[in-house]
Structure 1
Amino acid sequence: MLSLNGLTYRNVKENIAREPVYFFTMILIEMLMLAFNSMLFSKDVQEICQEGFIMDVLIGFVTIFIIAVMVWLIYYMMRQSFKYRSKEISLYMLFGLKQKEIYRNYAKETMLMATLAFVIGAAAGEMLKHFVMAIFYRMFRLDYVIEMNFYYQAIILTALIYFFCYIAALAKIRKKFLRLTINELSQLERTNEKNKASKANRTRKWLLSGNRLFIWRSVESEIKSIKKIIFFVSFLLMISIVGSSVAMMYTDYENNQIDAEYPYDVMVYHENPDLNFNKEKEILDSSSGIKQSHEYNIYQNQSSYMNNWLYCNLYFFGDRLKDKNGEFDESKLEKEDDYDVYYTYDTYMKLSDYNALLKMLGKEQISLKKDEYVLQIKQRLEPELSDTILNRVITCGNEKLHCKNISTVDFEQNGHNGADYVFVIPDEAAQNMTPYYSVLTAMTRKPVTEDITDRFDDDSGNFRYGSNHSILYTSPVLAKKEVEISLKSTVTAVLFPFAYVSLIFLCVAISLLAAHLMSTTKTNKKRYDLLMKMGMTKKEIDIIIHRQLAINYLIPLVISLIPGWIISIKMSTQFILDTGLHTSYVRYILLSLLWILTVYIIYFIMTDVFFRRNIHYGRER
């Protein structure tokens, strides 16, 4: 005869065998929690990421939502367990065991199962931690060396969160369980049998109409019984889709846009057009080494036509700076400090200076006739230019110049080479213009860091940065490495919490769906046994099971995909407009769906394998 402890261990074993997908999910969640919590206590992360505090706060914030969802998942699985074991619990009560004793033993089983999942998840989490850290280092273009560093604080924090979820779920179900009587447990069992019987009576009708009707009826009955579960799963999947899309956006920005926005190692602006940069060049040469450098002026001719046109026609500004006639209203700009982003006058550059800068980037140089100019502008703004700008003739002294072409090469136009744009004109035409401000551009042998740029003269003066207004670093003294660290710190602080919550919600969502499908194997076994008796082979039955499970998995995915797609497209459209990324609007959601579907398929395969195992169990013995 089994002892109480022996019964506990046997029940734990049976619970894991009955709900293997749920057990796997709890291991996976604990593994993810430990990996991301380790970042909170890593000194390397805090040193590299200037915005480490923000990341800590965001991870803490999303942990609140993760706890709520985990408690709900565990509570739901406990309810399913009580329904499945209602006859067993009734027998315990008939044999004289008190409900508190039964509950204590059930809680012991639950915590034992949770501890087993925690131990396995902790071991796997230690390995996953190095993968997450490698991604983190890669974002900062640093090499990650695997070190066997053990963060006991992360283990303690993860254990507290993990077991708190189990304790909270047990406390919630305790009140419900202690109120149950033997009669109510029996009624629950009879209700299940009644439902099964009514379904069995309709089996003959299903079979007469073929396999497709059989599958549809099976799916239909399951949908009716778990409407709330389907919509909850769909909601979690939608959050995963949106969260993943946001993570993809920031990752893409980190990987591509920094090099595009800041192609030069160092750029220094000064309001004085007659200034030389001997001091800055000496500092750079002694600290980082100068490979190439160029000093030049940006010019103006008292005209502000281009600036005014941009204020009135760019999507970013809308109608806020227009008067009743649709013309630029300077008085409105004085009241809108956040939109005062252009220099007072239009900006011009000599062809020789332009070619010198192109040469530093290894790009092909251009030539101009004496009556031609090139409009160098940010790529994201080119689609908004009208024929009025493309066909515009500009006057430089006695020369009239027409537009040869539009250039959108990456040129750092966040205040140094103009704000958003600059007109490239022949050197002779610039002789009739007034020097506006001076710029030093350099490529260095070593990265230029903040401690070096702090020694430069920082004259913000009339500095303007253009219409970029999201995730943009602007400064009269611009060092690419400093920009990269600053931007990536901010981006990473947002990226990792979004990825974290998306992964957890995805696992919980699919686990709920899989848990319900696994709970129906007892009912489905009778149906498939009947099909087997009517002459169907095991292979044919497996095909029907594949299709039935595929439909069940597709329903919440399709429901979540529609709002997730709409929200993600809206966000990615605005993100691309704000940052100037050179990519498709649907790129991010397609990338997020790619890995979400990968995880989805893994769970589907697991459910399919264990579902068929339960259906065929005992038949071949």
Structure 2
Amino acid sequence: MQNKIFLKNARYWAKDYAIYLLTIVFSISLIYSFNLLVFSEDIQRLSNGMNVLTGVIIFLSFAIVWVLGWLIHYMAKFMMKKRSREFGMYMLLGVPNKTIASLFAGEQALIGSVGFLLSLVIGSLLYQVLAMMVICFFGASYHLKLAFSWEAFGLTLLYTVCMYGSAILRLRSYLKNAEIHELLYLDREGEEEVRQERKGSLLAFFFYLFLGICGCFVFVYSVYLEGEVPYSGEYSGWYFLGSMAVILLCIYKIYTHMTYFLTRTVLSKGDFKYGKDRLFLLRGLTAKLNTIGKTLGILALLLTITLTAMQMGVLFEKFFQAQADNIISFDVAMSGNKEKIEEQQLEEKLEQRLQKQYGITFGHSYPIYQNPDDTLYTYTGLDGYLEFTPVMAYGDFQLLWKALGYEELSLGKQEYLLLTSEKIQERSRREEVPALEIQGETYQLKELSSRPFSTGSGLHGTGFLVVLPDEAAETFPVYHTCYVFETKKEIPANEGMELSQWLSENGAYDVSGDYRKNAVDEFMVASDTRASQNSVFVTFAFSLFYVGLIFACCAAAILAVQQLSDGVSYKHRYEILSYLGADEGKMQGLVLKQMIFYFFIPVAIPIPVSIFLASQINQVLLADLITVKAFCMAIAISIGLFFLVYFIYFLATYLGYRKRVLE
């Protein structure tokens, strides 16, 4: 008999809370697919930097497991409250507390076990999508094949046991010690008891609002503090972290006191609240917020972190793509001391090896000159280690520019070309680029180009390069000599390590580590550099989307279950409206407005705050390469992706709620 009740209840509650259970299945599936990704030999072979992804994903999984564990405990407790009278009746009939606790724990364990098994299947399919995205991003060919990893399986099982085990043990302990009257009236208790006076709560709302605004100002100040005030750099990090903690705390507190703000402002104005459907909608909203204020505050924190993480994920994709283009534009590039390179015949040996293995379509050696004037270094605001102006002769530039397939750029006698990033090009439209004074003559800017030209690696500078007429460039001392090659065949991604080792064996690097004794100071292979950049992008961007997607689903699932569970109790309100003459179309419109209000409130503050946080973090980490246009596009893409997930939950909740209250 007990087993029949056990299975019947498990099936019933699994159906009644389908959105929550599907969220758990999807979340565990995503965890399993990422575990498969980090333990995949095919993925690890793409680049030496991919081994970092393993540690990052495992580290982030602890935070994800904590959030999912909170979600599972919250929903299990929510289910227990809804069934508290049922459990109280069992106790009245003489069923021991231990049996009731074991019954509920068994139901949760069964649901968790079925969800875990489904996650293995769905996670394997998700892995195929993730693996295809990563491999194609590296430019390699993808082949569909069955994937399984004992390490991934074991980690996912451990996470699932921890999430469900902690929730089951806590609620099982509660039920074993619960009394009959406590269970019979448990469903009438609010999530939190409100003991504060409305006046005090309203003051608290404005206090935390003011404190949050102050935190935003301190956050902005911390971004620009580094290097602006003497000896302040050591404190800027603490200002940064402290102000972010204050902002997040204030978001939580604002939502816990939002009910009092609405009741004392919006609902206190008679003329406004009685217009249209406002009284019905706002009164229902405030009643709901009054009972889930604490939960709503936690959800607002999750949504803020989610939106910020997704925005930074898109920004990292744009940043690393721009950085890869600026680091190296040729298949193979080398720079260093010309005399030492010629003495050791490194150029000739390297050319012979490349010709033999891959074939050479273009090769050229040329000097980069050093102009001590730092006018453009100051103008660009770049924090590179070359504080002078790197210069290239126009004759060499023409050969290299043509080899890359770009349209020809002309240059007059007293003119110069500036090659730099899109960020500086965007700035040049607002601020005039300064002229250069060379040998008593003034050189004006002819054209500024952001086409990839190895200006971000040290080969042609660390952010910008100036092209001058040959006679003007040759008046400066040589900084180093560059050697670039284009090959017929594509060089494999990890060949750069072998070529670097070969150069070291040929005396290019001094074993003592003295940089000044080295013949070569820069050596890069394009495929190797791009693979390294791609591995960093995959680590950062995929990890941020991993966190963001699961957090978004958790928050939306709780909102959906909260509304759907109230469907039966709210049904009588719509019955009263029908008695008052409201037709079905009118009530469907009210349900839609109610859902819009309910789903909009939790993201009303997190959206602007997340954009603010992302913009400031962008200033610290990515400002050199991310333009305003690229930033706006990244924000639009990330928020669009978030709302795509959010809308799915909204639509499912609206349809389910409408069915419950109107039928």
- Common topology (TM > 0.5): yes
Q: Does 1:423 align with 2:481?
A: no
* Deviation sequence 1:261-302 (CA, Å, 0-9, x none): 3221111102226955222211111122111121212234xx
Q: Distance in 2 between matches of 1:105 and 1:281?
A: 75
User: TM-score, normalising length from structure 2?
Assistant: 0.79
Q: Distance in 1 between matches of 2:445 and 2:438?
A: 9
Q: Distance in 1 between matches of 2:467 and 2:92?
A: 93
Residue ranges of structure 1 left out of the alignment (5+ in a row): 196-201, 318-338, 465-473
Q: Distance in 2 between matches of 1:208 and 1:267?
A: 73
Distance 1:209 1:585, change over 3 A: closer
**Equivalent position amino acid for 2:394 in 1:** L
**Equivalent position amino acid for 2:565 in 1:** S
Distance 1:305 1:210, change over 3 A: closer
1:251 to 305, 317, 336: 317
**Equivalent position amino acid for 2:640 in 1:** L
Deviation of the 1:402 alpha carbon: 4.5
1:411 to 453, 456, 480: 453
The corresponding residue for 1:603 is 649
The corresponding residue for 2:225 is none
2:160 to 153, 159, 162: 162
Distance 1:608 1:82, change over 3 A: same
1:185 to 183, 186, 191: 183
Residue ranges of structure 2 left out of the alignment (5+ in a row): 194-266
**Equivalent position amino acid for 1:393 in 2:** E
1:14 to 12, 15, 20: 12
Distance 1:11 1:98, change over 3 A: same
The corresponding residue for 1:290 is 360
The corresponding residue for 1:171 is 169
Residues 313, 545 of structure 2: 8 Å contact kept:
yes
Q: Does 1:305 align with 2:370?
A: no
The corresponding residue for 2:602 is 556
Distance 1:188 1:531, change over 3 A: same
1:261 to 327, 332, 351: 327
Q: Distance in 2 between matches of 1:240 and 1:190?
A: 33
Q: Does 1:348 align with 2:357?
A: no
Q: Distance in 2 between matches of 1:314 and 1:583?
A: 18
* Deviation sequence 1:577-596 (CA, Å, 0-9, x none): 24466853333222211111
2:439 to 362, 386, 395: 395
The corresponding residue for 2:87 is 89
The corresponding residue for 1:455 is 502
Residues 244, 499 of structure 1: 8 Å contact kept:
yes
2:524 to 467, 475, 478: 478
SS of the equivalent of 2:44 reads: helix
1:510 to 537, 547, 556: 556
Q: Distance in 2 between matches of 1:477 and 1:258?
A: 15
SS of the equivalent of 1:412 reads: coil
Distance 1:209 1:45, change over 3 A: same
Q: Does 1:40 align with 2:38?
A: yes
The corresponding residue for 1:369 is 412
Distance 1:256 1:102, change over 3 A: same
**Equivalent position amino acid for 2:56 in 1:** L
Distance 1:382 1:252, change over 3 A: closer
Once the two structures are overlaid, the 10-residue window that deviates more, 600-609 or 583-592, is: 583-592
Greater relative contact order (CA < 8 Å, ≥ 6 in sequence): 1
Matches within 5 A, 1:219-238: 219-238=285-304
Deviation of the 1:598 alpha carbon: 0.2
Q: Distance in 1 between matches of 2:643 and 2:341?
A: 58
Distance 1:395 1:275, change over 3 A: farther
Q: Does 1:547 align with 2:587?
A: no
The corresponding residue for 2:618 is 572
* Deviation sequence 1:333-392 (CA, Å, 0-9, x none): xxxxxx64346xx43322111100110111122333334333434443456679896233
**Equivalent position amino acid for 1:364 in 2:** E
Q: Does 1:445 align with 2:488?
A: yes
- Size of the aligned set, in residue pairs, is 567
Deviation of the 1:304 alpha carbon: 0.9
Residues 290, 442 of structure 1: 8 Å contact kept:
yes
Once the two structures are overlaid, the 10-residue window that deviates more, 565-574 or 29-38, is: 565-574
Deviation of the 1:419 alpha carbon: 4.0
Q: Distance in 1 between matches of 2:628 and 2:369?
A: 29
Q: Distance in 2 between matches of 1:180 and 1:119?
A: 33
Q: Distance in 1 between matches of 2:484 and 2:104?
A: 71
Deviation of the 1:504 alpha carbon: 1.3
Deviation of the 1:430 alpha carbon: 4.6
The corresponding residue for 2:121 is 123
Distance 1:393 1:144, change over 3 A: same
Deviation of the 1:400 alpha carbon: 6.3
Deviation of the 1:423 alpha carbon: 3.2
SS of the equivalent of 2:630 reads: coil
The corresponding residue for 2:227 is none
Q: Does 1:494 align with 2:540?
A: yes
Q: Distance in 2 between matches of 1:400 and 1:272?
A: 31
Q: Does 1:279 align with 2:349?
A: yes
1:525 to 554, 559, 571: 571
Matches within 5 A, 1:15-94: 15-94=13-92
